[in-house]
Structure 1
């Protein structure tokens, strides 16, 4: 926990951006009965029945200090999907960065080995050389600020029936662009000093 908090307290460095990564699953749901549109004095009416239409994965990358985020919608959440996301992070989003600090949880695909499954060894090593992995502790994924962005995405965009993958991409892209244009950033206030007070029970007792 303290390692994560120390990373969050680093001064902003354009050549060493801090990025948080997390992912979520969205159930795709098709309407069986076409909803009746809202009109004056009458709200929209939606039938309770629906048809499950598979799932999709959403990768969330956010740079909380500057208020930027990028959501990539994929059909699956595999080591290959993760590896290609990291390549995009390094080569497309931050090509000028010396090193990217990446905060993430301990999901099995969040490993350097994923890059070696997707790319030739030289390419995998090149991408890895630009990344510093920082992992949240077990049961401590709440320390990852990407979770905050995912919860906002869920409330503002995903709390509706979305029928298919293409529509999900469209809805998420619109939300992503709007939120980036607003420049909304996360005001993280939980420091190491506060952790030592509020979570004192988690620290070992030392008797002199």
Structure 2
């Protein structure tokens, strides 16, 4: 019986360097390392039987990769394409999952508020398609669909939205009715933060320690609630705050008195008060009331449902994060002291907010919304 002669392997310096690199690299798959070692030993003159014995594999494996390298070079050490197992699910099955995920359960008389992967798999089962929850999850992930999540939004219903919003944005840019503001004109952003509670924890709050975060007891005794009113000078980064039992016209008037009774606002040419449409300062009546009280004060309303245009809301978010969370106060007096002390601390380092949303951004935003509103009916009609 004639025994086949092993294929001779001759390596170039470049091939040897690459194969040795693959063997040394920690990230190389082990099957690739084995193939590289087979070729390196073959190039050193080892027989297939010797290679199999040294690497703990069978002779056929050594013969296979030796021959593949001799025939195709380094490309021969890569797995050849395989047809794989026939698909269990059809493209129509997958499309059905996507269709259900992109619909509302209520539209199909399903008593759910939103879909989960489990509920989608259950619904498909009623349609005669048996798909596992993990498969549904994988398909949705590939399509970037997360029907179990939801996002709230609100539609602009102020007919003068653009005009009112542009007026506020112009004031932030120190312009009003096409004219630049003078050095003795100021812009105040004002609002109220209601229902700040004093929650006296039943056990003392403990500070953070090694491997342990701050611990705040869940149980508490209610110590009442107050409202925090604040007026923020947009360009000076100055805050005027006060605490009241509740919001309303009179508490807001006291905040106005607190600001307008001191310089430079008392003798200013004009002081613009940017407010939202809350009941404390709503409508033309509030504008007239402020003008009668202080002739140099001009009230400017944000559009309805656009409090995000009011910069004092940014300050309130800072207060919420840094002062009021977690809420652990023995009484309302402690809340009031903390808020007053924080104002002083804030003024020590405060700079104006880097407000970058301009009237040009507003027009682009509204144009995109208009395009969207016209495109959606067109797509539905098609």
TM-score by structure 2 length? 0.47
Tell me what 2:340 maps to. 173
Q: Which deviates more from structure 2 when the two are superposed, residues 91-100 or residues 138-147?
A: 91-100
- Is residue 144 from structure 1 mapped to residue 313 from structure 2 by the alignment? no
Specify the SS of the correspondent of 1:55: strand
Q: Distance in 2 between matches of 1:65 and 1:116?
A: 25
Q: 1:35 to 1:2 in 2, by over 3 A?
A: closer
Tell me what 2:279 maps to. 108
- Is residue 74 from structure 1 mapped to residue 244 from structure 2 by the alignment? yes
Tell me what 1:15 maps to. 184
- As a proportion of its length, which structure holds more helix? 2
Q: 1:9 to 1:39 in 2, by over 3 A?
A: closer
TM-score by structure 1 length? 0.83
Higher relative contact order (CA 8 A, sep 6+): 1
- As a proportion of its length, which structure holds more strand? 1
- Is residue 65 from structure 1 mapped to residue 235 from structure 2 by the alignment? yes
Q: 1:38 to 1:5 in 2, by over 3 A?
A: closer
Tell me what 2:322 maps to. 156
Contact 1:29 1:51 in 2 (8 A): yes
Q: Whose radius of gyration is greater, 1 or 2? A: 2
List alignment gaps of at least 5 residues for structure 2.
1-164, 175-179, 374-382
Number of positions where the alignment pairs a residue of Structure 1 with one of Structure 2: 199
Contact 1:90 1:130 in 2 (8 A): no
Listed as ranges, the matches of 1:78-93 within 5 Å are 78-93=248-263
Tell me what 1:198 maps to. 365
Q: Distance in 2 between matches of 1:44 and 1:156?
A: 14
- Is residue 128 from structure 1 mapped to residue 294 from structure 2 by the alignment? yes
Deviations 1:85-133 (A, max 9, x none): 112221125222122100000112115756999xxxxxx7652312101
Tell me what 1:95 maps to. 266
State the 1:183 CA deviation. Answer: 2.7
Q: Distance in 1 between matches of 2:364 and 2:291?
A: 41
Q: Distance in 2 between matches of 1:198 and 1:140?
A: 14
Q: Which deviates more from structure 2 when the two are superposed, residues 168-177 or residues 89-98?
A: 89-98
